[in-house]
Amino acid sequence: MDNPKVIYIENCAEHPIVTSPELDEERVMINLAQQGDQQAFYQLYQKYHRKVYAICWRMLADKDSAEDVCQEVFVQLWQKIANFRGESKFSTWLHSVTNNIVLGHLRKHKNWLQRIFSIEEQTIQEVPVEMEDSSGLSILDLHISRLPERARLVFVLFAVEGYRHEEISKMLDMAVGTSKAQYHRAKGLLREWVEI
């Protein structure tokens, strides 16, 4: 008999608990990692590090920083995983943990001139984007990485990750209107750059 992908283990009329072998395995891994099992934590790393790295890369637009921050996410995750209570999906929780760490990293590494004068980096990378890029990234990702920092962050958070402008304005400490303006700016640049 084929294993169904989704099994209802407790079919309560109001709140059926949906599970699957994959989710069950993940719960076990989380539980073990919460008790300090490094092997279980490694399984979680194996499952999620590519997703975490993708978020880091898109927001930081730099391979080395993305790799460093991705490591930082998992080191902090190891320390804080006991706080995960399963009230949301683990992937959702990890996603928001990652965003917080990336934004913290950006704040910490803002150069002193930007800190003092609040100057936004305006430069747009002039490096032409090759259609066949050796790093295996999509063309759109390469164009996103050319966007100025604030426009890039807003675009990634809004268009790719699905946050609302109200949420983004809080995350990036900017007005809602600024977030919308940066999004339109990013969209305009990308529409120009991406070839049909």
Partner 1 sequence: MNKLLSEQDLQNQVDKLPDEMTPQRDLWTGIERAIQTKQQDEPLFESSTKKVFVPAAWAASLIAAVLVSWVSFSPQQESIQVVQNNGTLLNLVIAMQDNFKQTKQTMLVSFGQPNVSELPQEIQEELLKISSAQKAIEKALIKDPSNNDLLNLLGWTQKQELDLLTQLYSPKWQSI
> What is the binding site for partner 1 (CB under 8 A)?
38, 41-42, 45, 49-51, 53-54, 57, 63, 66-67, 70-71, 74-76, 78-80, 82-83, 85, 93, 97, 100-101, 135-138, 140-141, 159-160, 187, 190-192, 194-196
Contact 127, 138 (CB under 8 A): no
Residue (74 or 163) nearer to partner 1, CB? 74
Least Å from the CB of residue 164 to partner 1? 16
Least Å from the CB of residue 18 to partner 1? 21
Residue (172 or 186) nearer to partner 1, CB? 186
How many residues are listed for the chain in this entry? 196
| Cα 4–chain centre separation | 31
Least Å from the CB of residue 170 to partner 1? 15
Q: Residue 42 and residue 164: Cα distance in Å, rounded?
A: 33
In the chain the first and final C-alpha atoms are separated, in Å, by 48
Helix (H) or strand (E) holding 38: helix 38-60
